[in-house]
A and B are shown apart, each in its own frame.
Chain A
Amino acid sequence: MLWQALTLQLGYNATLVALGAALLGVSSGVTGTFLFLRKRALVSDAISHATLPGVALAFMVMVALGGEGRNLPGLLVGSALSAWAGLLCVTWLTRHTRLAEDAAIGAVLSVFFGLGVVLLTVIQTMGTGKQAGLEGFLLGSTAGMLQTDALIIAVGGALALACIVLLRRPMTLVAFDPEYAQSRGLPVARIDLAMMGLVMAVTVIGLKIVGLILIVALLIIPAVTGRFWTDRSDRVALLAGLFGGLAGYLGAAISAVAPNLPTGPIIVLASFAFFVVSFILAPGRGVLAELFRYLRFQRRVHIRQGLLALAQGQPIYEPLTLRLLKHAGLARADGVATGKGRAHAAKALRDEKRWEVLRADHAHEAAASHYDGLRDIETVLTPDQIAEIDRRIGPPRQVVQ
């Protein structure tokens, strides 16, 4: 059943939803990356909650004009207008008062959302009979999705992506170093506003499928997931698009199989699954890689300390050090060095002396900056330089046994 859903064999409506959700995921993932890089992820939460009064007001206006209240393009225009108002409020509060951005976000988000809920309640008492369905915008509802709805998502998402291709350089520059960007004459405030406009566009086209409460997850989670895999901002954006698209597709397919589950939350959970896998397994920034790096480093430190202790005839008390030395064939279980161990210990002690000379000498400053107590001196000096240092130290001595 899930396989059929994934291969788009579950009927016309399910196919529309899956493709729409995938497109939405791609555009929200890519757009969200720039929001994430600019460290303004939460502004999108204010924007999305600010759509609700617009949805309700648009419904009322359309009904009052004798039209169909649930006309999707009409509702989206309303939501875009009130989202824009919410965004302007956050921007204005941050720039012209002493409120920090997080406080401004909290205030705008709750007031707009509260207003929206009140308006929804009013609509329910209006008795026009056709009000049912507006609540769907809170958590998304894909039941009865029309071809035009999918088309709106496709066109809107494609436009947002085109804008991002056009603005990626200035947006990256502003996100990394806004002061420098300003010094180059870039209109930083306008670029920020354009970025927020794109976020708003993605939010509005995502209302139908994911709903306004959860769209923030689709903007942020793919970007954060992509960050685990790469150290380049353009690749973060591409990966975020990929993860977002896959999550949208997968989530829509799952909810097609289990129609009782709401689509939006399932998409968000699918997105979260990608996040968890990346968080654990990504090479470089994942927790497992981090743990292995730590253990490997710890091992090097212990062996080095053990070798230096052996070289100076000091007893080794640390059980881990003893175990590592024994495992490497450098010492016996009772802590006495093997032949190989003595050779390595002598080298370690000699390197330590060489480093000492190196670090005291101003001429070797660049090389000395590499000192970390572990590094082999051959990696920073030429054999000639080492020979020169050795002349200063004097001939090698017998290591204490």
Chain B
Amino acid sequence: MLDLVRTRSPEEEIVASPMAIRGLTVSYGQKPAVFSVDMTVQPGAMTAIIGPNGAGKSTLLKAALGVIKPLSGRVTVYGKPLAAQRARIAYVPQRASVDWDFPTRVRDVVIMGLYRELGLLRRVKPRHVERTMDCLARVGMTDFADRQIGQLSGGQQQRVFLARALAQEADLYLLDEPFAGVDAATEKAIIGVLKALKDEGKTVVAVHHDLATVVDYFDRVFLINTRKVAEGSVGDAFTAETLQAAYGGRLATAQIDQISRALG
């Protein structure tokens, strides 16, 4: 097919993307969890990474961030190597990845988001505290600033992690299952914050497990099952066919029908 509209060259696409992944393979032992995956995150959009359990969703995110060392592949952030662009990325890990009995208060966790500014020895100034409280206010956790983190519910823990990411004032936000096991109030609070980020022109990528809310929450989807299955706008890439391809028999036909109806 002849392209009449001039499309961007592959290299231009990488430079324009907040995060471009090429040929990423990650393996635990001899079994690849993610195999030769390409992903091009679109700026200013909200993207959901979707796939069945064990499909490599979180692994993809962690490898893209350098938390896990990939076997092969290249990751660029706004066209430059990851190491040079750390300050522009904020990561919200899974809540279960830390020990919540750790002796620290909610505000101290959020201040960790200011690590780059505070460095090793700089003092925490009133403006830092102000920013911390501002981030807590955005996730509706102002009243909890002085609580020990062990006293929080699961949803509150998730909001604290989000506040810590907000404190970084990054351009690209990567979240690992932000809605997993949280109450409805938290889900509403988090999606509100993420949509506000999008309105500010920031880019959001989240590993997401609830197919029912994809259409409401996200603009774009990235379907993965070890390999990339589909990538594109919700309208193009989130279809009965792509879901079938990603989930195989694991998704009941009724669920797929429901989703296709939701898509209209």
Query: CB within 8 Å of B: which residues of A?
Result: 37, 39, 165-167, 169-170, 172-173, 175-177, 179-180, 182-186, 227, 230-233, 235-236, 365-366, 369
Residues in B84-110 with C-beta less than 8 Å from chain A: 86, 89, 91, 93, 97-99, 102-105, 108-109
A-B contact pairs, 6 of them (CB 8 A): A177-B93, A177-B97, A184-B91, A231-B105, A233-B102, A365-B183
In this assembly, does B5 line the interface, its C-beta being within 8 Å of a C-beta of chain A? no
A230 and B103 in contact (CB under 8 A), knowing A182-B65, A365-B184?
A: yes
A184 and B115 in contact (CB under 8 A), knowing A177-B93, A231-B104, A232-B104?
A: yes
User: Mask for B1-44, Cβ within 8 A of A = 1, else 0?
Assistant: 00000000000000000000000000000000000000000000
Contact of A231 with B93 in the complex, beta carbons under 8 Å: no
A183 and B104 in contact (CB under 8 A), knowing A166-B120, A231-B148?
A: no
In whole angstroms, how far apart are the Cα atoms of A170 and B116 in the complex?
Answer: 10
Nearest opposing residue in chain A for B153, CB measure: A369
**Centre residue among B97, B112, B153 by max chain A CB count within 10 A:** B112
In whole angstroms, how far apart are the Cα atoms of A173 and B118 in the complex?
Answer: 13
Chain A residue contacts of B66, Cβ below 8 A: 182-183, 185
Residue in contact with A179 in the complex, picked from B62, B118, B153, CB distance below 8 Å: B62
Interface of B is mostly: mixed
Contact of A180 with B91 in the complex, beta carbons under 8 Å: yes
In this assembly, does B262 line the interface, its C-beta being within 8 Å of a C-beta of chain A? no
Chain B residue contacts of A172, Cβ below 8 A: 104
In this assembly, does B251 line the interface, its C-beta being within 8 Å of a C-beta of chain A? no
In whole angstroms, how far apart are the Cα atoms of A179 and B91 in the complex?
Answer: 9
Q: How distant is A368 from chain B, measured CB to nearest CB, in Å?
A: 10
Q: How distant is B62 from chain A, measured CB to nearest CB, in Å?
A: 7
Contact of A185 with B83 in the complex, beta carbons under 8 Å: yes
In this assembly, does B67 line the interface, its C-beta being within 8 Å of a C-beta of chain A? yes
In this assembly, does B121 line the interface, its C-beta being within 8 Å of a C-beta of chain A? yes
Chain B residue contacts of A185, Cβ below 8 A: 66, 83, 86
In whole angstroms, how far apart are the Cα atoms of A76 and B93 in the complex?
Answer: 43
In whole angstroms, how far apart are the Cα atoms of A369 and B118 in the complex?
Answer: 37
A166 and B148 in contact (CB under 8 A), knowing A183-B89, A185-B83, A231-B105?
A: no
In this assembly, does B254 line the interface, its C-beta being within 8 Å of a C-beta of chain A? no
Chain A residue contacts of B65, Cβ below 8 A: 182-183
In whole angstroms, how far apart are the Cα atoms of A169 and B128 in the complex?
Answer: 15
The interface size bin for chain B is 20 to 34
Q: How distant is A314 from chain B, measured CB to nearest CB, in Å?
A: 33
**Centre residue among A179, A180, A230 by max chain B CB count within 10 A:** A180
In whole angstroms, how far apart are the Cα atoms of A169 and B116 in the complex?
Answer: 11
A183 and B67 in contact (CB under 8 A), knowing A232-B104, A369-B183?
A: yes
Chain A residue contacts of B105, Cβ below 8 A: 231-232
Chain A residue contacts of B109, Cβ below 8 A: 176
Chain A residue contacts of B91, Cβ below 8 A: 179-180, 183-184
Query: CB within 8 Å of A: which residues of B?
Result: 62, 65-67, 83, 86, 89, 91, 93, 97-99, 102-105, 108-109, 112, 115-116, 118-121, 148, 150, 153, 164, 183-185
Chain A residue contacts of B62, Cβ below 8 A: 179
Nearest opposing residue in chain B for A33, CB measure: B103
A175 and B102 in contact (CB under 8 A), knowing A182-B65, A365-B185, A369-B185?
A: yes
CB-based closest 8 A-B pairs: A183-B91, A185-B86, A231-B148, A182-B67, A183-B65, A233-B103, A177-B98, A179-B93
Contact of A176 with B183 in the complex, beta carbons under 8 Å: no
Chain A residue contacts of B104, Cβ below 8 A: 172, 176, 231-233
Nearest opposing residue in chain B for A230, CB measure: B103
Q: How distant is A297 from chain B, measured CB to nearest CB, in Å?
A: 15
In whole angstroms, how far apart are the Cα atoms of A166 and B150 in the complex?
Answer: 27
Residue in contact with A173 in the complex, picked from B97, B112, B184, CB distance below 8 Å: B112
Nearest opposing residue in chain B for A362, CB measure: B184
In whole angstroms, how far apart are the Cα atoms of A369 and B97 in the complex?
Answer: 25
Chain B residue contacts of A167, Cβ below 8 A: 120
Q: How distant is B210 from chain A, measured CB to nearest CB, in Å?
A: 18
In whole angstroms, how far apart are the Cα atoms of A148 and B116 in the complex?
Answer: 41
A166 and B185 in contact (CB under 8 A), knowing A173-B115, A231-B104?
A: no
In whole angstroms, how far apart are the Cα atoms of A176 and B109 in the complex?
Answer: 9
Chain A residue contacts of B93, Cβ below 8 A: 177, 179-180, 183
Residue in contact with B67 in the complex, picked from A169, A170, A179, A365, CB distance below 8 Å: A179
Contact of B184 with A232 in the complex, beta carbons under 8 Å: no
In whole angstroms, how far apart are the Cα atoms of A251 and B83 in the complex?
Answer: 50
Chain A residue contacts of B121, Cβ below 8 A: 165-166
Contact of A176 with B185 in the complex, beta carbons under 8 Å: no
Chain A residue contacts of B97, Cβ below 8 A: 177, 179
Nearest opposing residue in chain B for A237, CB measure: B103
Contact of A236 with B86 in the complex, beta carbons under 8 Å: no
Chain B residue contacts of A230, Cβ below 8 A: 103
Chain B residue contacts of A177, Cβ below 8 A: 93, 97-98, 112
Contact of B89 with A227 in the complex, beta carbons under 8 Å: no
In whole angstroms, how far apart are the Cα atoms of A63 and B96 in the complex?
Answer: 56
Chain B residue contacts of A232, Cβ below 8 A: 103-105, 108
